[in-house]
Amino acid sequence: MHPTVELCPEGRFEKGRSVELWGRRCPAAKGPGSASLSTWPLTVGGGLSGTVHRVSNVERVSYLRSARDLMDLRYAEPLDLGQMAAQAGFSKFHFARAFKEAYGETPAYYLTRRRMERAKDLLRSANLTVTEVCMLVGFSSLGSFSARFSELVGMSPSAFQRASAARGGPPPIPGCFLMDWGRPRPKLGNAQESNPGEA
């Protein structure tokens, strides 16, 4: 019969995935061996069972990268720490520590930075108001957006937009085209695909 191991909060366990203990025995763990063992059998409440093994740094970074990819892909959505941690398969607080250790910044700071990079692109190249840009990059409050933008870029969004226009460059993309292009469209089954502008 396999012994039972109680997972500490840092542990990860999903059916079909491994448990991450990062080489540490939990103080409350009941099980064979010591932290130096690389694997041992595991039984978790609810009838789930599997094998505990220490996750290599490569595996750890790949789990964290999947959460970072989620932030890159869905930056305009209201992502919270729980969703990001679930993508990586970690508890929230363990994920926040591991992400900062791997990338040198917290998940919230990384997400905000990605949003600001996108906002700068839109302010530079699209004929949109600051409020429209704020909503397109995932902020719900213009005041919060302007304060964070000023903190990270060094000037307000409207000042950045004016400075970009004064420098010249390509003409701005009309906002109506940008918003239409970014709008979700229904998937066409096996039918022949038509142009987005055609009815």
pLDDT in tens, the chain (199 residues): 333 333 444 444 443 444 444 333 333 344 444 343 344 444 444 455 555 556 677 888 889 999 999 999 999 998 999 999 999 988 899 999 999 999 999 999 999 999 999 999 999 888 899 999 999 999 999 999 999 999 999 999 999 999 988 887 666 667 677 667 666 666 666 555 555 555 4
The count of other CB atoms within 10 Å of the CB of residue 196 is: 9
For residue 40, what is the DSSP state? E
DSSP code per residue over 41-81: EEEEGGGEEEEEEPPPHHHHHHHHHHHHHHHHHSTTS---H
Question: What's the pLDDT score for residue 199?
Answer: 46
* Residues in Cβ contact with 111 at an 8 Å cutoff, skipping those fewer than 6 apart: 71, 75, 79, 84
Whole-number Å distance between alpha carbons of 172 and 44: 57
Question: What's the pLDDT score for residue 21?
Answer: 43
Question: What's the pLDDT score for residue 127?
Answer: 86
Question: What's the pLDDT score for residue 59?
Answer: 84
CA atoms within 13 A on the CB side of 145: 25
